[in-house]
Amino acid sequence: MMRFTERFHHRVIFAVATFMTMAFTSFASIHEGGDVAKGEQLFKANCASCHKITNEVLAAPGLGGIDQRWAGKDALLVKWIQNPQAAAASGDAYIKQLVATNVPLFGWMAGQAVTEAEIKDILTYVKTPPAGAAGGAAPVNNCQTLEELKAEAEKNEESDGFIWFIIIGVILAIIAVSAANIGRSLKNAMNEREGLPMEAEVGYWTSAKAWMWKNKTFVSIIGVFLFCYFAVVGYSTLMDIGVYEGYTPTQPVWFSHSIHVCQNEVDCQYCHSSAAKSKHAGIPSVNVCMNCHKGINKGKITGEKEIAKIYAAIGFDPATKQYIQGYEQKPIEWNKVHNLPDHVYFNHAQHVTVGKIDCKQCHGPVQQYTVGHQATLDEINSQDPADVPGLIKLTKPTLTMGWCIECHNKAQIDLTSSEYYEEMHNRFKASALGQRTIRDIMEDGEVTVREMGGWECGKCHY
């Protein structure tokens, strides 16, 4: 009897335990227990161009708190990520509301080619990102602080201010001169009434001369200062002919690379999408801006002022979140920063895709720039090699022929990096002459761009 109850008890305990584990696994949501590191990689590769892991909007609502919004709907969530329209067809009330608020703004999310296990990794990462991951709140790595960015925005305003300063100065001078005239006319009128002799009509030049004579010291200090100023400016202009390092034209919109690339981790090629496949890197059209700015109408630095210029270009009403019908759209007219002469051929894809050269090797720490500018060698060379793998330090000013040539002399080619080189290598190996060429090239144990013809005039000149 005793033994039976004992056995019975064991069975009950076993049954309860089994039930508990089953219950636990079905309650252990898809937001936990995945591989965070894998999830981070998958998230960056598949989701980060539209979603942040916080509540901030990018080109779609942020995924912060997603575990609560979809609590108890794991299967439906997996379905949503793999095929949003199919998930919407389920008629779920939350999805209905999600679609109603977001699809008019961002369009439908495209179904993602990720497995259920991968989604578990991603959602675990979203819920419990490792410390120091881009939470969006604290600036990532070495981003500029809000204060630094504000100072730059103000500097931008000041350059407009300087023109006003000059205009106001000229207006004041005109007023001063006419006031002097009026003063004299008044004095003459009084003199006339009192029968005194009239004051002679004095030319401006004569009175200016008299004034300058009276203020000799002041005038000579100003004179010496102006002379030195123009001498220095003139000299450096002469020395810099053909060198435009540091060139930073003003731009129609206060666009900040720092805010987009550093704070929000938008990839260079999201905006300069043709850099990897064609000659030009290209400047993004207003439509690219709208992918995100349909949802973001305010910035931390400039408020609504600058983003409003995007809406003015494309005809979008941020109040109704609608495009204005029949609006005459006009592109934002960005001023070109880099400009090689017409006789030079330069190809981005060749360097970015085939040569595997980082944008920052040629354009400097763009993640800290406001508007684009032509990098100086100092900026390029002083970057952290951890930021720019394989950083090659050069000595000639950027965009000069010496710069291209020097890099072609220093940059090594990895012959295994492309089929093109492998093919060439095989052809060389097939003949005695080819084998000698390979020996010559490999004498110093490395293959540079120069040795592959990177110094031939015709490669760079039309």
Q: Is residue 372 a contact partner of residue 337, using CB atoms and an 8 Å limit?
A: yes
Instruction: Give the nearer residue to ligand HEC in terms of CB position, either 438 or 452.
Output: 452
- Residue 39 CB: number of other CB atoms within 10 A? 23
Closest separation between CB of residue 204 and ligand HEC, Å? 45
- Position of tokens 């009509």? 201
Closest separation between CB of residue 329 and ligand HEC, Å? 14
Instruction: Give the nearer residue to ligand HEC in terms of CB position, either 242 or 326.
Output: 242
Buried b (16+ CB within 10 A) or exposed e, 90-121: eebeebeebbeebeeebeebeebebeeebbbb
Closest separation between CB of residue 407 and ligand HEC, Å? 3
Long-range contacts for 48-57 (Cβ within 8 Å, ≥24 apart)? 48/265, 49/266, 49/267, 49/270, 50/106, 50/109, 52/134, 52/136, 52/264, 53/125, 53/126, 53/129, 53/133, 53/134, 53/135, 53/136, 54/135, 54/136, 54/137, 56/136, 57/292, 57/295, 57/296
Dihedral sign computed on CA atoms, order 340, 348, 47, 90: positive
Instruction: Give the nearer residue to ligand HEC in terms of CB position, either 180 or 354.
Output: 354
Instruction: Give the nearer residue to ligand HEC in terms of CB position, either 13 or 146.
Output: 146
Instruction: Give the nearer residue to ligand HEC in terms of CB position, either 34 or 61.
Output: 61
Tokens of 418: 């492309």
Instruction: Give the nearer residue to ligand HEC in terms of CB position, either 133 or 212.
Output: 133
Closest separation between CB of residue 256 and ligand HEC, Å? 6
Closest separation between CB of residue 257 and ligand HEC, Å? 6
Dihedral sign computed on CA atoms, order 81, 84, 88, 89: negative
Q: Is residue 435 a contact partner of residue 429, using CB atoms and an 8 Å limit?
A: yes
Closest separation between CB of residue 35 and ligand HEC, Å? 15
Tell me the residue number closest to ligand HEC, measured at CB.
299
Closest separation between CB of residue 138 and ligand HEC, Å? 14
Instruction: Give the nearer residue to ligand HEC in terms of CB position, either 180 or 349.
Output: 349
Nearest Cα to 290, choosing from 107, 97, 93? Answer: 107
- Position of tokens 């009950």? 12
Instruction: Give the nearer residue to ligand HEC in terms of CB position, either 269 or 381.
Output: 269
Closest separation between CB of residue 336 and ligand HEC, Å? 4
Closest separation between CB of residue 230 and ligand HEC, Å? 25
Instruction: Give the nearer residue to ligand HEC in terms of CB position, either 282 or 315.
Output: 282
Q: Is residue 51 a contact partner of residue 291, using CB atoms and an 8 Å limit?
A: no
Closest separation between CB of residue 439 and ligand HEC, Å? 20
- Position of tokens 């690219």? 288
Instruction: Give the nearer residue to ligand HEC in terms of CB position, either 184 or 459.
Output: 459
Nearest Cα to 113, choosing from 142, 78, 85? Answer: 78
